[in-house]
Amino acid sequence: MTDHNFFERLKENPRPVVVDFWAPWCGPCRMIEPQLKQIGQEFDGQVDVWKVNADDHPELLKQLRIYGIPTIVSFNQGQEVARRTGVASRRELGDLFEAALSGERPAFSGLTIIDRVLRVAVGLALLLLAYTGGFEGVFLFIGLLSGVAFFSAVYDRCPIWQTISARLGFSSNDKTNEDESSA
């Protein structure tokens, strides 16, 4: 498959497509492969699963702006609907298949890198402001706010927060959490 051929095949494919961009040397790619294969079987006949070796197609990855692997991208009618980079839970992988099938973005697919950078920048600005005020009075409160801003940049990747929020019922999808705990 050539890079140009990829886009042609994508447009001509009668079903939605989930593409796994991976590499043989990538440990996280190997970690999610069994779950990806299992979910692919659940959506067999509804969603096609393609695997693209990142080492063999660097120009394609550049065109799609894929900078890390594994990256899973959902397409519906040749258009990108959703993507996930890095290790993903079974629920997140399932959301990508659902997005490909429905043609709609998942409700929450995680913070973008821009969101994370902006939150860290706000945290740094608040921390600098608190430092210049000597962390006294209102500047102590500003310092605490900087911590909240920093945490908001990474909370969705924090295993302690995920455990606590699931126990307290803060999760956005209780049914999904029940499915994962019974698996």
pLDDT tens profile 94-130:
999 999 999 888 765 567 788 888 989 999 999 999 9
Strand 48-53 vs strand 17-22: parallel, antiparallel, or unpaired?
parallel
Per residue in 18-55, pLDDT (tens digit) is: 999 999 999 889 999 999 999 999 999 999 999 999 99
Q: Is 26 a catalytic residue?
A: yes
Query: Considering 29, 49, 54, 99, which one is annotated as catalytic?
Result: 29
| Averaged pLDDT of the chain | 84
* Predicted TM-score (pTM) above 0.85: no
Of 56 and 181, which is predicted with more confidence?
A: 56
- More reliable by pLDDT, 54 or 4: 54
User: Which CATH topology does 3-102 take?
Assistant: Glutaredoxin (3.40.30)
Predicted confidence at residue 180, as pLDDT, reads 36
Q: What is the structure's pLDDT at 175? A: 36
User: CA-CA distance, 26 to 77, in Å (whole number)?
Assistant: 29
User: What is the amino acid identity at position 142?
Assistant: I
29 assigned to active site: yes
Active-site position among 17, 18, 19, 26 = 26
Lowest-pLDDT choice from 101-110, 149-158, 170-179: 170-179
Place of tokens 């990747």: 157
CB distance 16 to 75 below 8 Å = yes
Q: Where are the domains of the chain?
A: 3-102, 113-182
d(CA 55, CA 139): 50
**By the 8 A CB rule, do 85 and 70 touch?**
yes
Q: Residues 49-66: what's their mean pLDDT?
A: 93
